[in-house]
Structures are given as structure tokens and as C-alpha cells.
Amino acid sequence: MPELPEVETIVRGLQTRVAGDRIQSVWIGSRKQPLKSSAKKIVATLTDKQISRVHRMGKHIVFDLQNNAGAVNQSPEAQWIVHLGMTGRMLVCEPEAEAVKHTHLLASLASGRELRFIDARMFGRLAVVTPAKFDPGGVEPLDVDLATFAGLFRGRKTPIKSALLNQKLLRGVGNIYADEALARAGVRPRRRAASISRADLERLLSAIQAVLREAIEVGGSSVSDYVGADGEEGFFQLQHRVYGREGEPCLVCKTPIRRLVIAGRSSHYCPQCQK
């Protein structure tokens, strides 16, 4: 499931492989679920545009698009926004590569390569934004300062785990990294967000930033369908301390890791280390 580190890995791959390239033609499949903009508008907006830059906002991949090739300092005229949902993939392929099932969009590039959006479970979404002012809301966890971070939770009775997953507050953290960060910070996922001390919030922000940075460094966590833009897997799943480890011993104190459901999501924690 692509969260911030996985999307960042994909975006870096895309920026290297397709920035500066030009979209020549676009094919869109018949399934409507992945489309947040109409197929017609997506095709019209992408076709004959240069990809000036690929970057990330939260869990969204953002392609900046320009009409005029080579206009380096020009602000983008449009943006192509891709959210990978649970099982979405954005791959750079050779045209000869086999067209796998669940391919929903295919963009042919001037370089001869193709961009392919593939998503089995169809929680992923495609959209175009004109003018180019996409803003998903929330703050970037790797950029936010402690005061702003602490302010996100003021007055919130919801469990901290739910608050961390709320993309309108903090964008990019999903189920895996929320659990991993709470474990490192020693905070139980069910704690009411507003009840957490400043010191614990400071630890939590540090833990979030550390876990995200470490995960980016090894290409993200490959569980479920995640792969990078070139189809490569990540390795951070080997460093998970609590996620997916129900019943297994805590790496610090050997107490069995517990799992409970918060807001319909599995939450994993050590009952000894997390208070």
C-alpha cells in the first residue's frame, strides 16, 4: 500500500525517467472508478504536453505539464494528479512490455517509452487540474515544525492513530507508518489526540520523520502490490517493528505485539512499551 515513502520512491524514479519527455497520445480503459476527471478531459489535458517535473504532495503523484518544450522557468499550465490507492502502480515501460490486466491508462511518450497506470483493486484515482493549483490540504510531515504539528491535535478527541491517518491534517502517513511511528514514540494508538503531552508529541513528530526518511532510503515497504516506477521492490518491510507482527515478540521487551481495530484499520502496538 503506497504511503509517503513509496510514493516518494516512485516519484523520484519518474522524475529521473520521464521529466522533460512529451506525452504524445493517451489511452484510457473503460472502467470509470479510477477517474476523478472525465476521460475526455484527461486525454485532452495530457496529450501533446511536456512533463516539466514530477513531484509528490502527500500520497499524490503530481506531474507538472507544459505546452512549450524547453520553457524551464515557466509555471506549469496543468497538472496530472495520480493517487495510487491500495494497489495502484505507475510504471515506465517499453511499448513491447506485456499489457497486464487492470491497466487503466497508457501514455505514449516522445522518447518511445510508455507510462502505465495499473490498479487491480481500483482504489487509485486519476485527475487533471487546470490551472495548476492542486492542493490536497494538510501539512507535509517531513516539513512541518513542532508548533504546527502540535496544533493539529488541539481539541481533538479522536484516537491519535485516526488523527495521523487524517490526510486533511497530516498528508502522506498511512496505516503502516502510523503504527511504526507510534511504536517508536512509545504512544498507544488509542490515546486521545488532545491528551498527548508536548514531550510525547515532540517524540512522535521525530519518530514520524525518522521512519519516513529511513523508509525512503530503502525504497519503501513492499507489502501487497507496491513496486517503484521501474517495478523494483522496497525493503523497509524488513524493518517493521509492529506492523503485521501480531503475537510476535516486541523487539525491545519481548511482550507479544497486540492488534486492535481503530477506525476500521488494523493497529499494532506493544502493550508494554507504548503508554
Which parts of this chain interact with DNA (CB under 7 A)?
A: 1, 3, 33, 58-59, 83, 85-86, 101-102, 120-123, 155-159, 162, 165, 167, 174-176, 193, 263-266
Burial of 32 (0-12, 13-18, 19+ CB in 10 A): exposed
Smaller CB distance to DNA: residue 31 or 254? 31
Smaller CB distance to DNA: residue 159 or 189? 159
Grid coordinates representing 38?
472525465
Grid coordinates representing 189?
494508538
Smaller CB distance to DNA: residue 3 or 21? 3
Determine the Cα–Cα distance for residues 53 and 79; give it in Å rounded to an integer: 10
Grid coordinates representing 255?
511482550
DSSP character at residue 249: B
Determine the Cα–Cα distance for residues 251 and 258; give it in Å rounded to an integer: 13
Shortest separation between residue 210's beta carbon and DNA, angstroms: 19
DSSP character at residue 45: H
Smaller CB distance to DNA: residue 104 or 184? 104
Helices and strands counted in the chain (H then E): 6, 10
Residue closest to 114 by CA, chosen among 105, 123, 122: 105
Beta bridge partner(s), residue 91: 116
Shortest separation between residue 166's beta carbon and DNA, angstroms: 8
Shortest separation between residue 208's beta carbon and DNA, angstroms: 15
Shortest separation between residue 155's beta carbon and DNA, angstroms: 6
Shortest separation between residue 120's beta carbon and DNA, angstroms: 4
Q: How large is the C-alpha radius of gyration of the chain?
A: 20
Smaller CB distance to DNA: residue 52 or 87? 87
Beta bridge partner(s), residue 78: 65
Grid coordinates representing 181?
511511528
User: What phi and psi, each to the nearest 5 degrees, are found at residue 44?
Assistant: -65, -35
CB-facing half-sphere around the CA of 41: CA atoms within 13 A? 13
For the annotated catalytic residues, the residue numbers are: 2-3, 59, 265
Determine the Cα–Cα distance for residues 242 and 221; give it in Å rounded to an integer: 13
Say if CB 144 and CB 65 are below 8 A apart: no
Smaller CB distance to DNA: residue 62 or 109? 62
Shortest separation between residue 160's beta carbon and DNA, angstroms: 11
